[in-house]
């Protein structure tokens, strides 16, 4: 899923060397590597002239950036209002029971990372789960179990 084909400098060089492109670069690195490696951060800071303290402040302020490597599969459980009313939290609890790690963390075998998200805007399908950009409508504990088993077998 994650390709390391692009080198970090190939990504940073897509943009002009200006602080306003900091978020663009971080997003592209995140997309390509699944997280923001420290060496990428160094290079971005060098390129944009943004001090490391400020770059880390940006990377930790926004929820979509990760500073640690992510699992092979990312599971996002929507906890928007409609999903909350229809039992999204139940799915989060079940994931915690099954994967034995906290939300935002990765299983020791580097297979799964799971988090909650605040509304993916697909409220008619509540509760919704998104695994690696694939939406799963009206998710139940049983459907979750099936998906986890299928992904674990891969």
Per CB under 8 A, residues contacting other proteins are: 18-24, 26-27, 48, 50, 54, 57-58, 61-65, 79-82, 84-85, 87, 90, 93-94, 97, 117-126, 128, 133, 135-137, 140-142
Q: Which is nearer to other proteins, 119 or 151 (CB)?
A: 119
Q: Is 31 helix (H, G, I), strand (E, B) or coil?
A: helix
State in angstroms the smallest separation of the CB of 11 from other proteins: 15
Q: How far is the CB of 32 from other proteins (least distance, A)?
A: 15
Residue 21, by phi and psi: left (phi above 0), alpha (psi -120 to 50) or beta? alpha
Contact criterion met (CB below 8 Å) for 48 and 22: yes
Strand ranges for 3-89 from DSSP E = 73-78
Q: Which two tokens stand for residue 78?
A: 């929507």
Instruction: Tell the smallest beta-carbon distance from residue 13 to other proteins (Å).
Output: 17
């Amino acid at each position: 899923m994650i390709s390391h084909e692009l080198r970090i400098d190939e990504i940073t060089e897509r943009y002009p060397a200006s602080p306003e492109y900091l978020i663009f670069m971080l997003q592209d690195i995140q997309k390509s590597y699944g997280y923001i490696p420290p060496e990428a951060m160094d290079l971005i800071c060098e390129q944009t002239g943004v001090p490391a303290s400020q770059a880390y402040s940006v990377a930790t302020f926004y929820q979509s950036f990760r500073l640690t490597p992510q699992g092979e599969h990312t599971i996002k459980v929507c906890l928007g209002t409609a999903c909350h009313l229809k039992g999204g939290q139940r799915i989060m609890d079940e994931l915690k029971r099954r994967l034995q790690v906290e939300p935002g963390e990765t299983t020791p075998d580097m297979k799964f990372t799971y988090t909650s998200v605040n509304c993916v805007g697909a409220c008619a399908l509540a509760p919704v789960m998104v695994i690696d950009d694939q939406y799963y409508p009206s998710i139940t504990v049983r459907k979750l179990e099936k998906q986890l088993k299928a992904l674990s077998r891969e």
